[in-house]
Amino acid sequence: MKLYQADLSPFASRVRIQIYAKQLDVTFADPPGGLSSDEYKKINPTGRVPALEVDGTVIPESTVIFEYLEDRFPEPSLRPAGVLDRARARLLARCADLYVLPPLQALFGQRDPATRDAKVVEEKLGEVRLAYDLVEGFLVPGPYAVGAKLSIADCTLFPISFFATRLLPLLGDKDPLAERPKLSAWWGAVLEHEAVARVNGEIEKALQEFLAPGN
């Protein structure tokens, strides 16, 4: 199997955590011609990463890839044991995608003080705070997001929260995890997981390269 991906992508990062946690034999590739290029769209019509190539078939969309890998390689399982906990894990992942990530992406576009729009920053910071209040409320006693095992909730929330913890202080706001007790405890625990720690290092390195002068 081959995963078209980018280390900085929160969508690709959730799948890398899963691949490392399950110790799957997957090679990683940059999208040929770049994201959204005609060349890459011939392989993956969405032009986005991640996309998983399996025996000549390409599966786009991180959540679809995640579920495919769970179905095909059930052990070790990243699905909580009970059906209610599975719903809780999917709910947290969905909250992260639907409510935390969009305002964060808008804020990422505001990182340069020279072109920053204070009104947009204030509005989007408010949306991020509300979204993390939701997540804090839905977190289940850990150490992971839903109980004692890594799940789609951790894999989705971790890379998104990496950006939140970096970006909000840059914009003069508080780290949104530090001021929420359940999220703060979760962050400390999830970073101890080997697969998460590995992806943490990969995103950090990719971010430094992205932010390097002249890039």
Ligand X SMILES: N[C@@H](CCC(=O)N[C@@H](CS)C(=O)NCC(=O)O)C(=O)O
> Does 200 help bind ligand X (rule: CB under 6 A)?
no
Return d(Cα 203, Cα 193) in angstroms, integer.
15
Rounded-to-integer distance, Cα 51 and Cα 60, Å: 4
Instruction: Please state, in angstroms and rounded to a whole number, the distance separating the CA atoms of residues 4 and 2.
Output: 7
CB of 102 vs ligand X, minimal distance in Å: 11
Residue nearest to ligand X (CB): 48
Q: Which is nearer to ligand X, 151 or 180 (CB)?
A: 151
Residue keyed to tokens 């992205």: 210
Which residues in the 24-83 window bind ligand X by CB under 6 A? 35-36, 47-50, 61-63
Those residues whose C-beta lies under 8 Å from the C-beta of residue 169, and which sit 6 or more positions away, are 175
Q: Is 165 in the site for ligand X (CB under 6 A)?
A: no
Distances (CA, A) of 194 to 2, 19, 58, 75, 95: 22, 12, 28, 17, 25
Pattern 119-148, ligand X, x by CB under 6 A: ------------------------------
| 162 scored as a contact of ligand X (CB under 6 A) | no
Size of the site for ligand X (CB under 6 A): 11
Give the residues lining the site for ligand X (CB under 6 A): 9, 11, 35-36, 47-50, 61-63
